[in-house]
Amino acid sequence: MTDNYMGNYVGQRVKRTEDPRLIRGLAHYVDDISLPGTLHVAFVRSYYAHAQINSIDTSAAESAPGVVAVYTGKDVAAKIGPVPCAGALPDLKVPDHRVLATNKVYFVGHPVAVVVASDRYAARDAADLIVVDYEELPVVTDVEQSAAGGPVIHDAFSNNIAYRLTSGEGDIDAAFAAADRTVKQRVLHKRLAPIAMEPRGVLARYFPGEEELTLWSSTQIPHLMRTQVALMIGIPENKLRVITPEVGGGFGSKLNVYAEEALLGWISMQLGKPVKWIETRRENIQATIHGRGQVGDIEVAFKNDGSLTGLRYSVFADLGAYHQLLTPAIPTLTGLMLSGAYKIPAIQMNITACFTNKMATDAYRGAGRPEATYIVERALDLVAAELGADPAEVRRKNFPAPSEFPFHTATGLDYDSGDYEAALNKAQEIAGYAKLREEQKKARDEGRLIGIGVSTYVEICALGPSQAMPAGGWESATVRIEPTGKVTILTGASPHGQGQETSFAQIAADELGVNINDVTVIHGDTGVVQYGIGTFGSRATAVGGTAVFVAIQKLKEKAHKIATHILQADASRVAFEGGKYSLQAAKAASAAGTSEPVVPVGEAPAGALPEPETEGKSSLTLQEIALEAHVAKNLPPDTEPGLSATYFFEPKNFTFPFGTHIAVVEVDRETGDIKFLRYVAVDDCGRVINPMLVDGQVHGGIVQSIGQAMYEEVVYDESGQLITGTLMDYAVPRASHIPNFELDRTETPSPVNPLGVKGVGEAGTIGSTPAIVGAIVDALAPFGVRHLDMPIKPENVWRIINGH
């Protein structure tokens, strides 16, 4: 080893090993990779939401300067298979989703034709010369109209309802009948655009001689993408290599297999040259998946003491025109989490999922769970308002006790571990909750509008057991110790900003007793890494990190066997400590005395590995064992050479992180402006590998929640035109919009994996919106407000205050 073990990396604020390349501008995202002779691709996309394509005239484009090829839907429909959907639901309608539109376009941004040219300017110029003769068709953008018999979008079906599903346990009718009171509320979850700062992009290079295709793509799921694209374009999977270089954020939007990824690969195979497409931001908002998109009705039944007896949620899910990879599955995730952090004896969810003339919805950070948390937390606030009770106390009343775990919910889940009251108590303590309520009362008396919102959330993470996943819920790791003692980790997770190059190295450095700088984590290359599932659903550390941890234990078993052999000792006498296998002190002398000499070898040829010098030693470093394992002249019988181990970790259950968020806002009576006074978050994501990374995940998630609660909304007009098509119109939060976060944690280890890790990637987005909305509603309570739909803008607030 070049450096010594520094000790106890896990749990420390270790600076990221990723950062030196990123802060110096030396990292490589897809568009930063240039290959000689690369051709550039531009798309022609529909500007109608629903139209018949009568004809496409590509002649002017084909003869434009620099143009190499033009393809339309007709050219590729029989060559490239449909864009895949992995959602498996009973009687699900799956439209035939081709990579380019064939006879009809179904949403603004639907790709119609593609131009390949010598550079990106020439490609764009030529794309503008393509003339498409459209005949407009009736449009449906409203999901309830779509369900009620609006214009049918897909000719293959008789209506727009993709599926209906009822889920939940317990006698819901009895629960409502037995309740003292019930309350109802309609809630909207507007469509959101994920807006990863790096738009999507693909570089494809086909090697005609080797018949191999490499795709560099900005994706969260390189291996799943390889399998799907291979099937779509008909190349053997083992001749397709997918590489994710640096990926500039995903938030679920790159947990997908898109038309452009398959099409670029196919074009490169046709032309025998590298081809590149980099999404523009306008394309990104039009044709990268959206999140949320639900219109639902909550009904909650409860007793006069505040205890909940039943919850029903009936929802119209706006799927968009087509299914992307997980489109139909997202609303079902909402159904799974409708019990929130509470004991609710009966729960029912009724989903009506419909096609609309819009981009598909799919997994955006939280993916169905923020909707669930929002529904349950809004319901608890409504119960508190009905009873005139403190919202925190209504929540406390319905928590399961720590002794009730594993806790079975009426949505069919078994929560792994939790102490919800501890997180609530801690958050209330940090916020000074009782005092805040007094200050609020005083402020109200002075005419100021201050509101306090509380959210006690639970989320479902570490997706997940394979039984519950469409394509495997495990994760893989290979850990190798190279002959020089350097440690290489190959992970099937595909981090894109979360920092697992650092956190996995922390785990490995501690387990192996090496310096963290001697560990390299490799990910995102199907040519190098064994199959993996990818990074999404707050799974990478809990599932992928566990795979690393267990692979290391396997590797150490082998290292121990080799050490025992070389040290000529009983296995029980050789112990691993501080990066070394040592004979236990009392027995070291006699063992050393009986050791046999290492088998002598002749002079090593130039370029051979250095000769191990382990003879007569009483301890062996991992580096020495690694060298012995590779030189392989003195291994125990029946031992394979080399020092590596691979493990595919299959979790037995999901994990269920939780926490309490408290937001305090003040509303300006004159302008309706909303200002944060405090933001306290106490999150419990199980054991923490790197607190700095966890803080970063929580901050980022909360700010995306602030966006959802106060600014963001994808707007289509009645004709299906996208009104929020640029970052001028789609309002992503900026630095001046954020509160000064006060974060803390409780730590309840998960029993589901040996690390005790739960996951934290989506916690902020899931736990936060109800606290923010609750605070704004609370501020406006003097005006009789009990609920407001997101995004809550100053204009909405001003209208309430001024009675407009």
Cβ-Cβ contacts under 8 Å for 117 (sequence gap 6 or more): 39, 40, 42, 64, 66, 67, 68, 123, 125, 126
Q: Which of 643, 739, 515 is nearest to 1 (CA)?
A: 515
Q: Which of 47, 157, 711, 741 binds other proteins (CB under 8 A)?
A: 741
Q: Is 618 in the site for other proteins (CB under 8 A)?
A: no
Cβ-Cβ contacts under 8 Å for 326 (sequence gap 6 or more): 85, 86, 87, 255, 256, 362, 363, 367, 470
399-423: burial string, b at 16+ Cβ within 10 Å, e else: bbeeeebebebbbebebbbbbbbbb
Instruction: Rank residues 48 and 679 by Cβ distance to other proteins and give the closer one.
Output: 679
Q: How far apart are CA 579 and CA 573, in angstroms?
A: 16
Pairing of strands 275-278, 39-45: parallel
Q: Order across the sheet with 39-45: list the strands.
A: 67-72, 111-117, 39-45, 275-278, 201-207, 212-217, 240-243
Evaluate whether 261 touches 114 at the Cβ level (below 8 Å).
no
Q: Is 296 in the site for other proteins (CB under 8 A)?
A: no
Q: How far apart are CA 498 and CA 510, in angstroms?
A: 20
Instruction: Rank residues 20 and 208 by Cβ distance to other proteins and give the closer one.
Output: 20
**How far is the CA of 455 from the CAs of 478, 612, 641, 789, in angstroms?**
40, 60, 55, 16
Least Å distance, CB 194 to other proteins, is 8
Q: Is 804 in the site for other proteins (CB under 8 A)?
A: no
Amino acid at 404: E
Per CB under 8 A, which region of 20-28, 174-182, 380-388, 519-527 contacts other proteins? 20-28
Instruction: Rank residues 296 and 764 by Cβ distance to other proteins and give the closer one.
Output: 764
Instruction: Rank residues 172 and 195 by Cβ distance to other proteins and give the closer one.
Output: 195
Instruction: Rank residues 569 and 693 by Cβ distance to other proteins and give the closer one.
Output: 693
Residues 374-413: x where in contact with other proteins by CB under 8 A, - otherwise, as a string = ----------------------------------------
Instruction: Rank residues 345 and 499 by Cβ distance to other proteins and give the closer one.
Output: 499
Q: How far apart are CA 86 and CA 434, in angstroms?
A: 49
Query: Footprint of other proteins on residues 451-510 (CB under 8 A)?
Result: 496-499
Q: Is 36 in the site for other proteins (CB under 8 A)?
A: no
Query: Footprint of other proteins on residues 271-290 (CB under 8 A)?
Result: 278, 280-282
Q: Which of 736, 784, 803, 804 binds other proteins (CB under 8 A)?
A: 736
Binding footprint of other proteins, residue count (CB under 8 A): 59
Q: Point out which residues pair with 661 in neighbouring strands.
A: 455, 681
Query: Footprint of other proteins on residues 710-729 (CB under 8 A)?
Result: 726-728
Instruction: Rank residues 384 and 702 by Cβ distance to other proteins and give the closer one.
Output: 702
Amino acid at 366: G
Q: Is 246 in the site for other proteins (CB under 8 A)?
A: yes
Least Å distance, CB 41 to other proteins, is 15
Q: Which of 11, 249, 406, 794 binds other proteins (CB under 8 A)?
A: 249
Instruction: Rank residues 322 and 679 by Cβ distance to other proteins and give the closer one.
Output: 679
Q: Is 181 in the site for other proteins (CB under 8 A)?
A: no
Q: Which of 111, 764, 767, 770 binds other proteins (CB under 8 A)?
A: 764
Q: Which of 55, 78, 91, 197 binds other proteins (CB under 8 A)?
A: 197
Q: Is 745 in the site for other proteins (CB under 8 A)?
A: no
Instruction: Rank residues 40 and 98 by Cβ distance to other proteins and give the closer one.
Output: 40
Instruction: Rank residues 28 and 181 by Cβ distance to other proteins and give the closer one.
Output: 28
Q: Is 129 in the site for other proteins (CB under 8 A)?
A: no
Query: Footprint of other proteins on residues 315-354 (CB under 8 A)?
Result: none
Element (H, E) at 463: none
Q: Which of 24, 585, 803, 804 binds other proteins (CB under 8 A)?
A: 24
At 456 the three-state DSSP class reads: strand
Q: Is 121 in the site for other proteins (CB under 8 A)?
A: yes
Element (H, E) at 282: helix 281-287
Instruction: Rank residues 29 and 648 by Cβ distance to other proteins and give the closer one.
Output: 29
Which residue in this structure is represented by tokens 């799943």?
224
Element (H, E) at 799: helix 794-802
Cβ-Cβ contacts under 8 Å for 196 (sequence gap 6 or more): 218, 248, 249, 250, 251, 253, 254
Q: Is 735 in the site for other proteins (CB under 8 A)?
A: yes
Evaluate whether 513 touches 577 at the Cβ level (below 8 Å).
yes
- The count of other CB atoms within 10 Å of the CB of residue 627 is 24
Task: Summarize as ranges the residues that interact with other proteins (CB under 8 A).
Answer: 15-16, 18-20, 22-29, 31-32, 34, 120-121, 195-199, 246-249, 251, 278, 280-282, 496-499, 692-693, 695-696, 698-704, 726-728, 732-736, 738, 740-741, 764
